[in-house]
Each structure stands twice: as structure tokens, then as C-alpha cells.
Chain A
């Protein structure tokens, strides 16, 4: 039985950053304000969840209908992780690309928020893409062979003039299948 990676809808995309050291609670008023102001027009924003009391957790989460955006430390590294929440009509590569664009959008807004004092700066040259669906994308060699070109296509769709290096995240087989993407972005896009 082959894999139906094209049906993959549940995905996570993470962008890493050095820990800004502002404390997770600093993000709560920012997210509440975004919800009030409907800051991100293409997303239905409606809740803020706080798991900062749990070590290596999603931390503080902005919940939207389309995806959850968390200040995540679940792999031990700080970053902004988007978890797709609902299925769409797009194929897997489009879904990943859309989610990546949303992460970049949220990341940029966080970086420019004065309440964080310029301490948050995301590394756009490293992206983690996780297949959050053990049925369609099991964490196996076969699963990775199917996922890798989809991830490459998706990242290329966002960073068209970039050079990519996609590697499989070496994790517990019970964890989700994930790819680590190094992106060498053309100067014009990096800005």
C-alpha cells in the first residue's frame, strides 16, 4: 500500500529564534490585542492558551480557526510553531506553503512589536516541517521519501530563489515525521 502524502492536511511549521528572554507572559497581551484588532486579516483569531507552566511545551498559544501559533519549546528549542487545525481543499505542498507564509507573517508582527523591545529575531534560514498525521505520513523511511519532495516544493513556492537542504529530523520513531530545512535565501527575499 503506497502513501497518500498528497492528502496530508495536518502539518506543523516551525521557525526558530534565540530565546528572547522576555518571559512567556509577555506574549499574552500581544495576542489578545491582535484578536481585538483582528490584526491578521486572513485568519479567524479567537483565543489565547497558556501552557507556560509545562516545561518544553507549546508555551503561549494564539488560537485561530485555521492554525494555532505557539511560542514553542517542545523540541527543546525556542521558536514559533504553527499547527494547522483544519482541513482545506489544498494539496499538501500548498498547505505547507500557506502555513509557512502564515508563520512568516506572525513572526514579522512579533518582531516589530515594541513590547518585546526588539529582542525577538527569527532565523528564516531554518524551517522545521512536521507531518502531523501518522496515518498518511508515518515516521518511516518510506514516509520521508514521500514527504521530502512535497516539503521542497512548498518551501520553493515561498522562497522561489532559494537553495534548500532538506534533511529528516532524527527523532523517536513514535514522534511525528519531520524535515529540517536549511534555506539559503536570495538577498532580495531575505529582507
Chain B
């Protein structure tokens, strides 16, 4: 049994997770059963208090879900907001090549979300803001990959890390271990602000205006858990770019993009950003629109906050397919959207963090120039020259280089990760970046150390060449693990990489520059729209069979912050995609004009002509003639789309009230564990009373949020507002529920959350549970009133009414 750390606080913690009321000294837990203790014991002092409380709360919510005391829909969104995502087959069914059959998970029927078996393994997404990672963090990721996953660390196209085949019950300890080294999984999934991405070259790039890293960091910290980003209809992605011309930052394909800019005001150069909004890929791709041509740096955070508030207030909540901010921008028009953001800016209460974090950003803008660590007489092991041609970037700082560690399909093993951590410590400034091309970038390596670095990377088998070239094909997980995958993007990508690598010596530099990206479906996690040659998975019927296909797009571009999307050409059977790529490259090589890049060639020749030249490759032989077309890459089953599940790219919309009630449940659960423990000390039982009071405040706050999403979170204010809005109006009361529960909250509040003795503390915990039950009942009535229209209840569910 896990020990419990109780933080006594007279005030409800705010939901932002960043500004907490100081808690008193933790009281040691009482339920330790192993002499080693738990990760919670071991790491307690290394975890920020707020983060520790959040993880404890999630762990308690998981226990409650197992007891069916939290709705599956609510728990799904709670776990998504901790980055714990679903994975293929978690609905408990799998197509075996002839039929779909049930998977006999032991606790069949116990779910962790709608149609999601509790026992099914899932994916853990881990935020790496702007891709920056230390050696220590990489080592802990390696440990977690070994103990909770299958030793494979996967880098995504948004600079996150993903671990697959993770048991949900392992996630709290994993979160603690990651948290202890400064990594958060909070809001890595779910309807909130996802990982803030940024150019991996920032700070060392020769085309950037200035280093965006500190600003991306400030944005991440400011919005993480911020109350204004908790009520979105869908996810919200932010990217920072240091220049307008290159594609590393991908700002134009994001919900919100910041592109470094400057202007001269009063003879002084002023830093800021061009702000773009409403971009996005997916089935309906949009290029972002310019919201402001220049926004001074100190306005960056308030602008983000104002946009978030407009999106939360006006964004679609019911129809997920139309809920991204790009649809809101398209519906309103960019001018009206700007007017709303400007108006929102006027209403914001000044927040000292707006300026503090920019100041901090400027202070942290220090260049690091390590001295060389090796002599220059080291001889390289084979392959050095080829590797340097594609994997070495000359930093703006003349003595230094950055090396790209090209990861096949974005994967590396835990052992490689540890070797890389050693290399980071030896050569660099302990800073690695994940890249949006699913690679690593090791920066600030002294030019004199290049040969030695190569030798060390070679020993770790991390010297795959061709970074950023045609062989460096990126891919989303696709049908390997994703519930939405239609075709095997990773299987195809592995085939393409192998085939292109074999041909790479034939390619001239222009062909080598062609970029290929693959997604397993049209949701575009592989970013196929912005590749010269892009593919996304689809299915076609041939006779009575289904055949895996990939839809071909041509002529997208990374340049201009990924602001040009490819043209759809047609569907190619999966097994003919490698041949299609070969033919495209041959056509391009033969027909291009002097120096003509791939995209201009596509635009000049036109999709109609290109399609005609590929037409024969779009045909599918009959099943009798060639069964291999009816089986996907790296699979052995006859193809089916029967394994596609419901996506969790964004969970179901869970209201602020439901979140608050779930937090209340979690708190009272923790309190009940203490009072149920016969060995608990008096001090601990009295602390449980404080927890019970906090739970009541959270329940009341949840109801207040039906009236005002911005309801104040201070305990006194919650009590007063609740009394005014729910007691004086009798909204809280029903014939059998609520009448007797309100005095429990009153008494606890008047006592300042304290109990006189252990008996009263135990009673307080029971009363808190009753008050929470009554709050649930009240919320149900409010929802029914809203749906049925039988009672006028203003502002229910924080809607726009």
C-alpha cells in the first residue's frame, strides 16, 4: 500500500498549478509496507509541491475510477490531461486476419474511458517544451522506457517523447520520476495547450533574428495549467520560430504561431513577434492568418492569454470536427477575431508574470561556449565523411557545430539514450533538442571535437546518415499503436528508408533535398501536407476486399514556416508506394529545369500530368492474382479497418465543473484513507479534516463555475459566492438532497477547515462526501434544466449563452 503525504492548507489550491498557497510541513505517511518505500517517498522532496499534489490527485482519481466513483468520460479527460493516452486495441477487440475477436483482459468491462479497457496498455506522451532536454532528463526517460514500456523512446513530430505499451497504473510513479527532473506530462494530451514547440536551431541558427528558446519556455510555463486554458473544445498547439523563411519552427501550421520580428522605435531596436493564428493540418488543413504584424515581446503572454479566452468562450464545444481554433478564425474572419482579442486584452487583470518571465528570458539569453575536450589528432572510424555531409550543421558561432542524430522512425533504445547522455556531458553544454523531424540535435560541440564525437556516436550506433534529406522520412505511429491509424505508416516508412538509402548514391543534391513524410490517416500527425512528397493512409474496396492505400500529396513545403501545403494527386496501393516514389524521382530528375527544386517542378508540370504518369501504379491486382496487396506493410493479417477506434486526440469535452468535482472526490478519498487507517496519528487525522474541507470548497467551486468560468478560487470567496448564488437562490436544495448538506460546509468553513478532535475530523470526512454527493446531484439538475429548458439557469456549463 502506498504511503500518503498530506499537505495541510487552509485554502483551496488554485487550478493553475503554478501559484499555490504555501502548505505546512508534510506529514509522513502511515501505510508504508515495503522497506524500500515508494517513488513517492524517495522523490518527495525533489518534486515541486504543486506537481506532487497533482500526481497524488491523479493517482487517487484512478483508484476512484476503479471503484466506479468517477465517470469514465471524466476519468478519460483527467488521464489525457496527464498525457496518458489510449492505444490500439484498447477497446478490447482485435482483428486477427479473419475476424474481430475479443481480447480477454482480466478486468474486462472496467474502463478508463468510453470503450477503453482499463487493463489495455496505453501510450504516455511526455512534454519536452521546444525540445530542450538535459542528460539527466534523458537518463530518467531511459529508466522509464525500460521499467514501464519496452525500452523504446519515440520522438514525435511535435518534439514530445512517447512511450508505448504502458500500464495506466504505472503512470503516477512515472510522472513522479519525470517530475523530479523537471519534466511534466501535464496537458500533453486532452483539450488544452499541448507542447510548445520551437526551432531546434534557436540560438545557434544563422538565419534567426534572435533566440526564441526563452520565450517558448516562458509561454510553456505561463499557460501550463492556467485557468484560461482549461475549457477548450479541443487541443491548442503553439509554435515559436526564429525566422520567417525557414521551416524549422512550423509556425504557419499551428493554432498559434510566433515568428521572431523586430522594429525600430525611437531609434531603439525592439524585439517582438509576428503573431499568426488559426493554422493546422488534419483533414481540413488551414494556413495560419496574421493576427498582428508585430507584437512587442512583453505583450506575448497577455496576447496568448487573450486568444485562449476568446477560444474558450467562442470555440465550438459539441462538434469535435469543427472545434479547433482554425474553424473559429475562419467563421469569424481574422479581423473580427482580432477585434475580440483586442477587447479581451483590455479586460485582463495585469499579471506580473507577463513581464517577469520576459525579463527572465532576457537574462537567460547567455551563449555557452565550451572549450574543446579532445585533441585534434583523433582518427575517425569509417563513415565520418558521409556523416558530416548531412548530419553536421555549422553554428552561427564559428567554432561550433551542431550534430543531428538521425533516429530511424524517431526511435532509440534506452541504452542508446544513456550513451547519448554521456556524450552530451562530454561534449556539449548538457543540452539536446528533439526536432520536429523526429531526430535529436546535439548543439554546442566544439569543432575540434567533431571526430571524437563521431566516434562516440558510432559506438552508440547513432550515426545514421542522411539527416534532413530524402532518406530521413518521418512518420507518425500509424496502425502500429494509434487507434485512428488506417494504414501502416511506420511499416511503409521503414521500407522507403531502406529503399532510398540503397539508391542514395545515385541521387544528386537536388533530389537528396526532397522531403518525404507519411501519416497513417488524414489527421496528419506525420505532417504529410508540408512535404515535397506526402502520404496519408486510406482504405479502398476492391471486390469484396479492403486494400491499404496511401493518398499521395505533392508540392508541400517546409519553407516559410511550413506555409505551403501539398496537392492531392490520388490514392496509391500501399505496396506500390515505394515504386511510386522511385518513379516520381525519376520523372523529376529527367524533367526538371536547371536548379529547379521539387515543389516548383510540381507546380510547373501540374498535378494532372503527374497523375497521368502514375496512373498505372494506382491499379490493384485482383486478390487471386496477388494477395500481397491485401496485406499491409510489416503485418501478416489480411487487411481490415476493423481495428480503428475512437480517437483521443482530444478527449470528450469535460466541463470545468466536472473537473472540480473530480478533484473534490480525489481530496475526500485521500482524507478517507487517512481516517480509515487505524495506525494514523492524531496529527494525520486532523490533517484529513483539512483535506475534507478543501474537498467541499472544490465541490462548491465546481458549481460556481456553472455560472462563471472565472469564479474565484480563494476559499473564503468560494464560500461567500456559493452562499449567495446557490443557497440564497435555493439552487442547491432539492426535496431530499442538499438541505442537510449545506450546514456541513458552513460548519467546516467556520472552523477554518480545522477539527477539534479526531472524532470531529472523522465526521468531517463523512460530511464532505455527503456535500460532494449533493453537489453532483445539483449539477445534474442544472444540466437537465439546460437540456430540457424547464428552468432558466444562466451560464450553465460555461457556455456562450
Contacts and interface: CB of A to CB of B under 8 A. Distances in A.
Interface of A: 1-4, 7, 10, 25, 28-29, 32-33, 35-36, 44, 46-47, 49-58, 61, 63, 65, 68, 70, 74, 83, 85-87, 132-136, 172, 174-176
Contacts of A85: 121, 165, 167
* Smallest CB-CB A-B distances: 6 pairs: A29-B636, A4-B34, A36-B96, A32-B636, A55-B461, A53-B408
A49 B480 contact: yes
A52 B491 CA distance: 11
Contacts of A57: 151-152, 411, 413
Contact of B634 (A28, A44, A74, A132): A28
Nearest to B164: A49
Interface string B77-108: 00000000000110000101110000111100
B244 to A, nearest CB: 35
Interface string B160-192: 000011010100000000000000000000000
A36 to B, nearest CB: 4
Interface in B625-648: 634-637
B670 interface: no
B461 A51 contact: no
Contacts of A65: 103, 105-106, 119
Contact of B415 (A36, A134, A175): A175
A86 B167 contact: yes
B97 A7 contact: no
Interface stretch (B50-58, B142-150, B566-574, B705-713): B142-150
Contacts of B494: 50, 52-53
A68 B147 contact: no
Contact of B150 (A44, A52, A61, A87): A61
Contact of A3 (B36, B142, B169): B36
A49 B36 CA distance: 33
Contact of B34 (A35, A49, A136): A136
Given A51-B152, A74-B151, A86-B167, A174 B418 contact: yes
Nearest to A46: B103
Nearest to B481: A49
A25 B634 contact: yes
B409 interface: yes
A53 B415 CA distance: 15
B507 interface: no
A2 B89 contact: no
A69 B118 CA distance: 22
A56 B105 contact: no
Nearest to B103: A46
Contacts of B36: 1-4, 7, 135-136
Interface stretch (B37-45, B386-394, B519-527): B37-45
A52 B634 CA distance: 10
Contacts, number: 119
A121 to B, nearest CB: 24
Contact of A132 (B146, B416, B491): B146
A51 B415 CA distance: 14
B469 to A, nearest CB: 17
B801 interface: no
Nearest to A31: B636
Nearest to B39: A135
A56 B461 contact: yes
A1 to B, nearest CB: 6
A87 B165 CA distance: 15
B98 A36 contact: yes
B35 A51 contact: no
Given A57-B152, A174-B418, A68 B413 contact: no
Query: Which of A7, A46, A58, A87 gathers most chain B CB within 10 Å?
Result: A46
B139 interface: yes
27 contacts: A2-B36, A28-B635, A32-B636, A36-B96, A44-B104, A46-B94, A49-B150, A49-B164, A50-B491, A50-B494, A50-B634, A51-B411, A54-B152, A54-B409, A56-B461, A57-B411, A58-B150, A58-B151, A63-B165, A68-B150, A70-B150, A86-B119, A86-B167, A87-B169, A132-B146, A135-B38, A174-B143
B104 A56 contact: no
Nearest to B38: A135
Query: Which of A28, A53, A55 gathers most chain B CB within 10 Å?
Result: A53
A47 to B, nearest CB: 6
A49 B94 contact: no
Contacts of A47: 88-89, 94, 165
Contacts of B461: 55-56
Given A10-B147, A44-B103, A52-B494, 6 more contacts: A36-B97, A46-B89, A46-B103, A53-B409, A65-B119, A87-B169
A175 B418 CA distance: 9
Nearest to B462: A55
Contacts of B146: 132, 176
B634 A1 contact: no
Contacts of A63: 121, 165
A7 B165 contact: no
A58 B89 CA distance: 21
B413 A83 contact: no
Contacts of A133: 147
B656 interface: no
B412 interface: yes
Contacts of A49: 150, 164-165, 480-481
A7 B34 CA distance: 8
Contacts of A52: 494
Contact of A28 (B39, B490, B497, B636): B636
A50 B150 CA distance: 11
A93 B142 CA distance: 26
Given A36-B97, A46-B89, A3 B634 contact: no
B547 to A, nearest CB: 18
Contact of A44 (B38, B97, B105, B636): B105
A130 B456 CA distance: 27
B497 to A, nearest CB: 8
B337 to A, nearest CB: 44
B714 to A, nearest CB: 38
A4 B1 CA distance: 13
Given A49-B165, A49-B480, A35 B96 contact: yes
A132 B147 contact: yes
A55 B415 CA distance: 11
